[in-house]
Structure 1
Amino acid sequence: MNDARPPLPAPPRPVRRAAAALALAAVAGSAQATDVFRLEGFGAVSRSMGGVATAQDVGPAGMMTNPATLSLLQAGHTLMGGLDLVTTDIEVQDQATGARVSSGHHGSNRGPYVAPELAYAQRVGAWTFGVGAFAQGGLGTEYGSSSFLSRATGGLDTGLDNSSRLLVLNIPLAASFKVNEALTVGAGIDAMWQGLNLNLLLGADQVGSLIGASRVSGALLPVLGGLPDLRGAHFSLTRNSPLASGINAWGHAERIGMTYQLRPDTRLGAAFTTRSHMADMEGRATLTAVDGVAGQIPLNGNLKIRDFQMPAVLNLGVSHTVSERLQVAADLSRVFWSRVMKDIKVGFVSDGGGDLNILLPQDYKDQNVLAVGAAYQWDARWTWRGGFRIADQALRGSTLFAVIPATPRKHLSAGFGYAVSPAASVDLAWSHAFREHLDNTSLPNTSAPIGVNHAQDNATIAFTWRF
């Protein structure tokens, strides 16, 4: 409901009170979810309504979920620009000692995270075409170099950083066709870029556990094993820049969708996004062997993370017009994480010769995600929105990394749209990820038993111009 409409008279006072109560009932005590590395909705309209977008007109950003919704836009041209702002609250506790560390401002390129949103759509007869640029998602942590996470086996302080930043950007090109008054179909292809910064210390016990499970191989393995007192190994692949990353890759994904006007007041939608087809992320890195006798031995070289993909997603949705002013919508999604996030496959080749290959277990589970949202047009200028989203937990505690705590699964959202003129509007959305706790007490992905708490706040602002 972000398109311009004819002026409506202000509702009577009793109706205003009832609408306010309905809006509070729609969002109070509810929850919303983020889909691991995926943002919980694209564009301010969708984000404020819990991420619904499969059967609902959420503006040109809808091409990121269901390209067929482009046919729901007004005739002519639609241009949207905006920003995503993501702030995180992450704390890790050593459950053996009680030591704690928070992810915060320990570095120069992590959090709060800002990403652009840009989309353009044009109606040409029965066709509507769209192109855009969106942050699909990512993650970020910054624990510094002095916490318990920077201690190697035996409590040896290393002064080495533990941090992460994954950024996934999509550039969708989509088209939608209005088959008849009831049916629209659409398809699209996304160019994708992903970049990763990572600083990760593995204790000698973690390395030993990986070796014992046949998850480490390469010519450098005997070299590490030959050190007099190996305490750990540290990977560093980071560039201190707002966008540039230590390793990165390009790829693509495809998307199809449809909407069907079941009744004048009810629309159904369905869409499917394929898993991504990304090249291996690669770039320069440093592998530092930490030894109790020889000290720290850095090895420079090239590093690849092989076959790191974003998952396929199936979306089913319904949108219902309750009255002239009120719309409600719901999406049910299946996110196929288990097909793409079995292991993180790391390959390192030293400049001096020798290689090291590691399989870090992840074993994510598929997610079911429910999103529900409502939009109430208060008058000719103001539209109020709210929603919630809840998902299954995709991560397993037994394979949790402190630097990859993508655990939130419940969000609450709210926002509004303001029509500056019949041709222009501003939309604002806020969503809160409720604190999620997950424990990992086992090797190989942690040395000390840890508990991770993760909460998050996301905000989106967008300006839309129709001409």
Structure 2
Amino acid sequence: MSANKKLLALAVCAALAAPAARATNGYFAHGYGTKTNGLAGAGVALPQTAMAAASNPAGMVLVGSRMDLGAALFNPNRSYEVSSITGGLGANGGISGSSVDSERTLFLIPHFGRNWMLGEEASFGVTVYGNGGMNTTWRADETPFGLGTFGQAGSPAGDAGVDMAQLFVVPTYARKFGEHAAWGASLVLAYQRFKAFGLKNFAMLSTDPDHLTDLGYDSSAGWGAKVGILGEVAPGLTLGASYQSTISMDSFDKYRGLFAEHGDFDIPPTATVGLAWQTSPRSTLAVDVQWIAYSQIDSVGDPLQPALNQCLGAVMGGTPASAVSSCLGGSRGPGFGWDDITVVKIGYQWQTGPRWTWRVGFSHTEQPIPSSEVLFNILAPGVIENHVTFGFTRKIGEKRELNFAFMYAPEKTVSGVNTLGAPSGQDVELAMDQFQLELSYGWMF
């Protein structure tokens, strides 16, 4: 086996073995690939590496025959704070001013891309990357009285949290048309895994309490499609656009008593448009606008209330939770209540010589978590809104390059009332900040 084939096999195995754990734009990454991440994720009209298919399949035919292999060290810092001890089910173990920090704050996230030119006008490539971020571990012994995050007096729930990760393997065909335009299409093959723990005090509100929590990892697979186009619309100005369909996934059978529609957890559709303006022979400004439709996935977008109050009322009236569609796991069961979001990404890159290229970027997203949905989102506090990025490329000879990117997401908080607390109410505040360092190496053939 040649050295290149061995490296290709090693890269794919590493990416498959380490699904990502991120929570940036909701649970989508702010960008894919080191060069794009140095631009805060902007790149739908500015393909630069074999990771281009993650933003726009059309870009693959413009990057040439190349391979990119890299990894990010991702540091999300998550916490929640509750205002007082109250009755009722939910996050009621807190005292005024107390704060609980999530365990597991450092993750290694690999990525990989390989592109082959098929003559002058077409290309075929494979890109591997991940999403995630619904990942928390709240230790019971760090909560007041050791009751646990979702504990009650006399019924400690133990450690609580979830681990959710998604992996994408994306084969792509792209083709030029005309002198300055291209189209591309990708088959998006997806794998995801999930586990939940510490939620047993919600059993009375589940359609299937034996498939609610503490069952270890479950996995699912599915597929969708992505299409893209880009072209020069004026001298030095390129327009790009891409759309990814809903990715239909197998259900999480072990957690059919937790997620709406009996364990269903599809991946939402996304659409992106952007411009790349060559402001000088050595500099480019890129701007992307991305839309992520979380509300179209019931297990993510359905709100907690009024579903659980309807469920509780029915159960207290003698109806089994298994017969109530608004209970956890039901066809109209609650999810995380996430809204659709629009993300604006702006990046600028410039060359300072034949070997050095520098990048900076900023992105802003709408808040996916309404204040009314803080209780369940203790499990998945994807509240980040802003990202600031920096990066560079250092060419090594004619056919090799080293790429670096840094991301900082300043702390963002979202506060609301525990909707399952006592009538007096209880405030819950979610908080998160993030850092990320990323390195990759590129080979041109």
* TM-score with structure 2 setting the length: 0.78
- 8 Å Cα contact 1:200-1:234 kept in structure 2: no
Supply the AA of the counterpart residue of 1:260. Answer: G
Supply the AA of the counterpart residue of 1:386. Answer: V
How far does the alpha carbon of each residue in 1:128-168 deviate from its partner, in whole angstroms, 9 at most, with x for none?
Answer: 11102111333321211221461666534626111222111
Counterpart residue number, 2:132: 137
Counterpart residue number, 1:338: 295
Q: CA deviation at 1:391?
A: 0.8
Q: Which protein has the larger Cα radius of gyration, Structure 1 or Structure 2?
A: 1
Q: 2:72 aligns with which of 55, 80, 84?
A: 84
Equivalent runs, 1:280-429 vs 2, <5 Å: 280-283=251-254, 306-340=263-297, 341-343=300-302, 358=328, 359-400=333-374, 401-429=377-405
Supply the AA of the counterpart residue of 2:50. Answer: P
Q: CA deviation at 1:189?
A: 0.9
Equivalent runs, 1:37-436 vs 2, <5 Å: 37-74=27-64, 77-96=65-84, 97-98=95-96, 100-105=98-103, 110-125=104-119, 126-146=121-141, 147-148=143-144, 150=148, 154-156=152-154, 158=156, 160-201=158-199, 203=201, 216-217=206-207, 235-238=213-216, 246-283=217-254, 306-340=263-297, 341-343=300-302, 358=328, 359-400=333-374, 401-436=377-412
Higher helix share: 2
Structure 1 CA distance, aligned partners of 2:101 and 2:115?
39
How far does the alpha carbon of each residue in 1:344-393 deviate from its partner, in whole angstroms, 9 at most, with x for none?
Answer: 99xxxxxxxx9796133323211111000011111111111010100111
Structure 2 CA distance, aligned partners of 1:127 and 1:432?
37
Q: 1:456 aligns with which of 434, 438, 445?
A: 434
Counterpart residue number, 1:296: none
SS at match of 2:127: strand
Structure 1 CA distance, aligned partners of 2:118 and 2:381?
45
- 8 Å Cα contact 1:138-1:168 kept in structure 2: no
Structure 2 CA distance, aligned partners of 1:70 and 1:159?
49
- 8 Å Cα contact 2:77-2:105 kept in structure 1: no
Q: CA deviation at 1:180?
A: 1.3
Q: CA deviation at 1:325?
A: 1.2
SS at match of 1:142: strand
How far does the alpha carbon of each residue in 1:250-294 deviate from its partner, in whole angstroms, 9 at most, with x for none?
Answer: 11121000001112311000110111111102348999xxxxxxx
Structure 2 CA distance, aligned partners of 1:172 and 1:336?
20
- 8 Å Cα contact 1:361-1:399 kept in structure 2: no
- 8 Å Cα contact 1:200-1:235 kept in structure 2: yes
Q: Which runs of 5+ in 2 are unaligned?
A: 1-22, 85-94, 305-320
Structure 2 CA distance, aligned partners of 1:395 and 1:202?
24
Q: CA deviation at 1:104?
A: 4.2
Q: CA deviation at 1:304?
A: 9.4
Q: CA deviation at 1:409?
A: 1.2
Identity of aligned residues (%): 19
Supply the AA of the counterpart residue of 2:69. Answer: G
Higher strand share: 1
Q: CA deviation at 1:42?
A: 0.1
SS at match of 1:235: coil
Q: CA deviation at 1:235?
A: 2.2
Structure 2 CA distance, aligned partners of 1:152 and 1:249?
27
Structure 2 CA distance, aligned partners of 1:376 and 1:305?
50
Q: CA deviation at 1:461?
A: 1.1
Counterpart residue number, 1:440: 416
Structure 2 CA distance, aligned partners of 1:342 and 1:441?
19
Supply the AA of the counterpart residue of 2:110. Answer: P
Structure 1 CA distance, aligned partners of 2:164 and 2:426?
24
Count the aligned residue pairs. Answer: 380
Distance 1:237 1:440, change over 3 A: farther
Distance 1:462 1:304, change over 3 A: farther
Structure 2 CA distance, aligned partners of 1:234 and 1:280?
14
Structure 1 CA distance, aligned partners of 2:115 and 2:130?
18
Supply the AA of the counterpart residue of 1:278. Answer: M
Structure 2 CA distance, aligned partners of 1:78 and 1:156?
60
Supply the AA of the counterpart residue of 2:339. Answer: K
Structure 2 CA distance, aligned partners of 1:414 and 1:463?
17
How far does the alpha carbon of each residue in 1:410-446 deviate from its partner, in whole angstroms, 9 at most, with x for none?
Answer: 1111111110111000111111111111113132499
SS at match of 2:334: strand
Q: CA deviation at 1:306?
A: 2.0
- 8 Å Cα contact 1:249-1:279 kept in structure 2: yes
Cα RMSD (Å): 2.9
Supply the AA of the counterpart residue of 2:198. Answer: L
Q: Which runs of 5+ in 1 are unaligned?
A: 1-32, 222-232, 239-245, 288-302, 346-353
Distance 1:277 1:344, change over 3 A: farther
Distance 1:336 1:285, change over 3 A: closer
